[in-house]
Structure 1
């Protein structure tokens, strides 16, 4: 499973990426989790399973979904409370639910 977190510059999600990696390791889940700016996302679509968008750029959801759909990539906005508290476990659960 490859999860990509998207924000305007790719920086505010970096700490959340680390928390999600810790949660995945504790749960024994093999996954790749990275962060990127929206501008760099197009190069990642073929190798990504889930895109989670930072709440501060939720306005990008329709645009990103349109680009991701042909690649079979699931897209959602990160839960605001989980993002604000940097709850990596909760955001990881959100990604897992998107994949079913």
Structure 2
């Protein structure tokens, strides 16, 4: 079983799929055992209830939903942040993973 669960959420869960692959590679390189997956923002409630991720990273294209999503993650006591737009655009899995790990430490 994975040490931590990192959930990425975007419009449809599709654009973050490549980023998930890059993050998984970065985690493996660091010897981390994380379950990293992408989903759509419409599936956040379901995932919070059933998967119980340790951290949620919101895609920059849905940053306008941050307030609503943060209210849900705060209620579930799960740290959440919007993925840095430049890191997202560059598909910098290592940097997004580092941001998720920082949230886990602060969480």
Query: Which TM-score band applies after superposition, normalised by the shorter structure?
Result: over 0.9
Aligned residue in 1 for 2:57: 52
**Residues 40-94 of structure 1: CA deviation (Å, up to 9, x unaligned):** 1111114111111111110011111101112111110001111000000000000
Q: Is the counterpart of residue 2 in structure 1 residue 5 in structure 2?
A: yes
Q: Which runs of 5+ in 1 are unaligned?
A: none
TM-score normalized with structure 2 length: 0.90
- Between the two proteins, the alignment pairs up a number of residues equal to 100
Q: CA RMSD in A?
A: 0.8
Corresponding position of 1:16: 19
| Aligned match of 2:40 | 37
Q: Which runs of 5+ in 2 are unaligned?
A: none
Partner Cα distance (2:38, 2:96) in 1: 13
